[in-house]
Amino acid sequence: MTHPATDPHRAAHPVATGPTTDPHRGGGAGGRRVRTVVGLLTAVSLVLAGCGVDSTRPADDGDLTGPVTVFAAASLTEPFTTLGRRYEAEHPGSTVTFNFAGSSALATQITQGAPADVFASAAPRNMATVTDAGHAAGTPTVFARNQLVIAVPQGNPQRLAGLADLTRPGLKVALCAAQVPCGAAATTALDRAGVRVTPVTLEQDVKGTLAKVKLGEVDAALVYRTDARSADREIDGIEFPESAQAVNDYPIVVLADAPHPTAARAFVELVHSAAGRTVLTDAGFQPPAGP
């Protein structure tokens, strides 16, 4: 690990930077670097969103009744399915097809030419993969935010109250790996709290982390609030103040090669609408930060 964190060349290509060259160190420095990049991208995307004019694509057929294919982060499964049904009800004859998967896998599929209309990512970093490769029509806009909670088995048998309790000897903690968005957020939150946790496992995605709590193999894990809510029959989610400093932005964009751009834009509008926001908040998401 000889790369200085300030190397401008690396900072300019966030997709291939950070702790990514070395999957074996989920250390604080890497997390901070990722956070810097994420913060930078968010700032840029917010500024550009302020300009707000999508001039890259001319008017097309104007067809709202056709199919729309949405590639969305796995954590959006429940609210987006609801929104998809709503879109189909509002536009008779239309069909919304979803491909839910990890944001990075989706980004790879899109840059390799998958025929998608809309991409909704769980982190700006994966969105940057797509925009950097020129696959986005216009600028991504942030439509929701998500933050971490401590997931514990129902009833909180270990009586955990905050991040500091995770250092308790003998306590088994699962985190997401630093390479995936929830792991980057966990690293940031723990850094901010000045807490050093030695997890028993660094999971490949947030659902895997959640599963370890559900199965009772670990005593606690850091997962998104939305994931904790989706499993509230088996686990409890404990809020902690430092999570406010590790918030994940969810950007959405219409893709440049979208086969159905008009319908795609209509779907993105629905996600941004008041109705869309309600569905997302019900799932545990927070509205995007103000301009």
Report the alpha-carbon distance of residue 44 to residue 46 in Å, rounded.
5
Choose which of 96, 120, 150, 174 interacts with other proteins (CB under 8 A). Answer: 174
Under the binding rule (CB under 8 A), the answer on residue 202 touching other proteins is yes
Long-range contacts of 110-113 (CB under 8 A, 24+ apart): 110/71, 110/135, 110/255, 111/135, 113/257
Q: How far is the CB of 248 from other proteins (least distance, A)?
A: 15
Stretch that binds other proteins, among 47-55, 78-86, 137-145, 206-214 (CB under 8 A): 206-214
- For other proteins, the closer of residues 21 and 278 by Cβ is 21
Residue 36 in contact with other proteins, rule: CB under 8 A: no
Our CB check for other proteins shows the closer of 137 and 185 to be 185
The distance of closest approach from Cβ of residue 175 to other proteins in the complex, given in angstroms and rounded to an integer, is: 10
Residue 149 backbone dihedrals phi, psi, to 5 degrees: -135, 165
**Whole-angstrom distance, CA of residue 59 vs CA of residue 82:** 28
Beta strands in 88-128 (DSSP E): 95-101, 118-120
What is the C-alpha separation between 127 and 135, in angstroms, rounded? 10
Q: Which of 12, 215, 244, 289 binds other proteins (CB under 8 A)?
A: 215
Q: Is 179 in the site for other proteins (CB under 8 A)?
A: yes
What count of other Cβ atoms lies within 10 Å of the Cβ of residue 25?
A: 12
Q: Does 212 bind other proteins (CB under 8 A)?
A: yes
Decide whether 134 or 216 has the Cβ nearer to other proteins. Answer: 216
How far is it, in rounded angstroms, from Cα 285 to Cα 94? 27
Rounded to whole angstroms, the Cα distance separating 146 from 131 reads 22
What length does the chain have? 291
The CA-to-CA distance between both ends of the chain, in Å, stands at 37
Question: Residue 92 or 169: which CB sits closer to other proteins?
Answer: 169
CA-nearest of 154, 160, 146, 163 to 240 is 163
How many positions of this chain bind other proteins (CB under 8 A)? 32
Give the shortest CB-217-to-other proteins separation in angstroms. Answer: 5
One residue of 5, 10, 11, 20 binding other proteins per CB under 8 A: 20
Q: Is 165 in the site for other proteins (CB under 8 A)?
A: no
SS3 6: coil
Cβ proximity to other proteins: between 18 and 284 the closer is 18
Contact 171, 220 (CB under 8 A): yes
Applying CB under 8 A, among 208, 251, 261, 288 the residue interacting with other proteins is: 208
Tell which one of 15, 164, 171, 247 touches other proteins (CB under 8 A).
Answer: 15
Touching other proteins, residues 72-131 (CB under 8 A): 102, 104, 108, 125
Q: Is 204 in the site for other proteins (CB under 8 A)?
A: yes
Q: What are the backbone dihedrals phi and psi of residue 229, each rounded to the nearest 5 degrees, phi first?
A: -70, -35
Nearest Cα residue to 160 out of 239, 91, 213: 239
- Binding residue (CB under 8 A) for other proteins from 216, 232, 278, 281: 216
Task: Point out which residues bind other proteins (CB under 8 A).
Answer: 1, 15-16, 18-25, 102, 104, 108, 125, 172, 174, 177, 179-180, 199-204, 208, 211-212, 215-217
